[in-house]
A and B are shown apart, each in its own frame.
Chain A
Amino acid sequence: MAVTIPSKLDAATLRSDFPIFEQTFHGRPLAYLDSAASSQKPRQVLDAMTRFYETSYANVHRGVYELAERATAALEGARGKVARFVNAPAEREIVFVRNATEALNLVAYAWGLKNLGPGDTVVVTELEHHANFVPWQFVAGKVGAEFKVLDVDDDGHLDPARLDELVGEANVKVVATGYVSNVLGGAQDVPAIAAWAHARGAIHVCDAAQAAPHKRVDVQALGSDFVAVSGHKMLGPSGIGFLWGKAELLVEMDPFLTGGHMIRSVRADRTTWGELPHKFEAGTAPMAEAVGLGAAIDYLEDVGLENVEAYEHELVAYALEQLREIPGVELYGPPANERAGIVTFNVESVHPHDVAQVLDLDAVAIRAGHHCCQPLMSKLGVVATNRASFYLYTVPDEIDRLAAGVRRVKEQFGV
């Protein structure tokens, strides 16, 4: 079925920037509908990393020779791009980490171990990715703090007006919530939740891993104290992500990982910490990865995040329309205009693994499982779901192939 997507974004043209699509699987071009797990990489990102290795590679910061200075400039240039990308007040508030998971662990350990204790409460929601759930549960358990999981509605919304009622009189110290759900695709009202956290004297920690690829993440507008992002979901390489944190909090925190580069001075009796952000960047940095992330940000800014967001709404609307026509397909999540490019569904009683396996025979790649959201799966009353997710290189034909594949699943499993 043909579809006209009235968008400023030309996915078919952008797609030619992505070398991964030049090959076939099972004799067919790849329909990659798993971008929420990790996005593919444009040539611009790969070239930037190769160019860095070929022309500017040396260890950063302490070298006095020209090549080391060039490498340092590349790393710090990438930090500047990240800071502008999320509207951070200062570049020193951007800490490079491996991914959002590491960023959230950094906050849970380095802030949590110092500031949490018995009588305190850490609040998350049942929508959280395990990355923003398990570190808090673990650290709360270690220090004897209470760990509270808030209900969301069936579309995945946490109602800010009900927060007092949900939390009661607890002495809340941390409120950790995601921005965009990696399962349902909807966005939370982060500014309202952050404001509530502050009114209760708590910090707000925002997991923006699934938001940053799809919509503008403005850390000042969100009002959070910490924001965690992975590079690999937003066209960047694997192995790089960043934490933005308010300088006054980062300054007061203990380090997370210790060792080389993060110190001011080391003596047998005492070590002091380096300045921000280096205090949190022990060891040799993921330099080429940071350069790649910078190139990914350039690419996204060229396309325009507003265009990406609008295009994904169109794709989701189209996918929901296609899947809704198939009897026995159960769809989860909010309306199309409220979500990032994520469609989660089940097909009758057929297990998602089997759905994904059959789709793979047609080179349609989707994710099947719990999506690192087992508390949400429990809420939905399932062990697993199928998830098709889209990005700026997704074309409607891939969604047609998804729908055709789902029909084939039904035939082959006789449901």
Chain B
Amino acid sequence: MSEFDQLYREVILDHYKNPRGHGILADADAVAEGQNPLCGDEVTVSVRFGEDGETIEQIGFEGRGCAISQAATSMLTELVQGRTATQVAELPKEALLDEIGIPLTPVRLKCAILGLGVLKVALHRSKGTALPEEWQGLSDDFGLS
């Protein structure tokens, strides 16, 4: 397998070109937007809960970013559907990285987990679940104070 194919597995290019769960939900219960500070990539994630108010019934995202970040977020939507907010908040990044299944350098790792982090921020705002380390202490405003 060429180095390119090892990095950009067919499944990743497929998710990149045909993202699942694409689009922001009109009647979302939780929304968050986040950026990767290294490259400025943006992802917005929106979630609607089921009748129990906890289980993710539907998830939609939009974003601008590299193949890894967009494919990873697309895969994420399939991974978390049907899980509760608490379960997703506790979901280790390795669960998503296993799905992605390619070796990632530290820089690309941040691309891969951007969507997961933003989803956890959305759940935190809506349900008060735990934030991942890299999102702790970030204020919503511009932070000039």
Q: Which residues of A line the B interface, CB within 8 A?
A: 26, 137-138, 141-142, 351-354, 357-358, 361, 368-370, 374, 377, 383-384, 412-413
Contacts and interface: CB of A to CB of B under 8 A. Distances in A.
A383 B67 contact: no
B40 A377 contact: yes
B39 A368 contact: yes
A410 to B, nearest CB: 13
Contact of B65 (A138, A142, A351): A351
Contacts of A141: 144-145
A354 B41 CA distance: 12
Given A369-B38, A377-B40, A358 B4 contact: yes
Contacts of A353: 39, 41, 65-69, 108, 111
Which of B3, B65, B66, B145 lies at the interface centre, i.e. has the most chain A CB atoms within 10 A of its CB?
B66
Q: In the complex, which range does the number of interface residues on chain B fall in?
A: 20 to 34
Contact of B66 (A351, A374, A412): A351
Contacts of B65: 351, 353, 383
A352 B39 CA distance: 9
Interface string B134-145: 000000000011
Contact of B40 (A354, A357, A361, A374): A374
A28 to B, nearest CB: 12
A165 to B, nearest CB: 28
Interface string B1-45: 001100110000100000000000000000000000011111000
Contacts of A352: 39, 66
B83 interface: no
A406 B8 CA distance: 16
A377 B39 CA distance: 11
A363 to B, nearest CB: 11
Specify the main secondary structure of chain B where it touches its partner: mixed
B93 interface: no
Interchain residue pairs A-B with the least CB separation, the first 3: A353-B66, A141-B144, A370-B40
B64 interface: yes
Contacts of A351: 41, 65-67
Interface string B115-145: 0000000000000000000000000000011
Nearest to A138: B144
Contacts of B69: 353
B12 to A, nearest CB: 10
Contacts of B66: 351-354, 357
B64 A412 contact: no
B8 A369 contact: no
A368 B3 CA distance: 19
Interface in B101-116: 108, 111
A377 B41 CA distance: 11
A312 B52 CA distance: 64
B111 A383 contact: no
Nearest to A140: B144
B129 to A, nearest CB: 28
A412 B9 CA distance: 12
A369 B40 contact: yes
Contacts of A354: 8, 66-68
A395 B125 CA distance: 53
Contacts of A413: 13, 67
Contacts of B145: 141
24 contacts: A141-B144, A141-B145, A351-B66, A351-B67, A352-B39, A353-B39, A353-B41, A353-B66, A353-B69, A353-B108, A354-B66, A357-B108, A361-B4, A361-B7, A369-B38, A369-B39, A370-B39, A370-B40, A383-B40, A383-B64, A383-B65, A412-B4, A413-B13, A413-B67
Interface string B64-104: 11111100000000000000000000000000000000000
B79 to A, nearest CB: 22
Given A351-B41, A351-B65, A361-B7, 4 more contacts: A351-B66, A351-B67, A370-B40, A384-B39
B7 A357 contact: yes
A383 B4 contact: no
Contacts of B3: 26, 361
Nearest to A141: B144
Contacts of B38: 369
Given A353-B68, A383-B64, A383-B65, A412 B40 contact: no
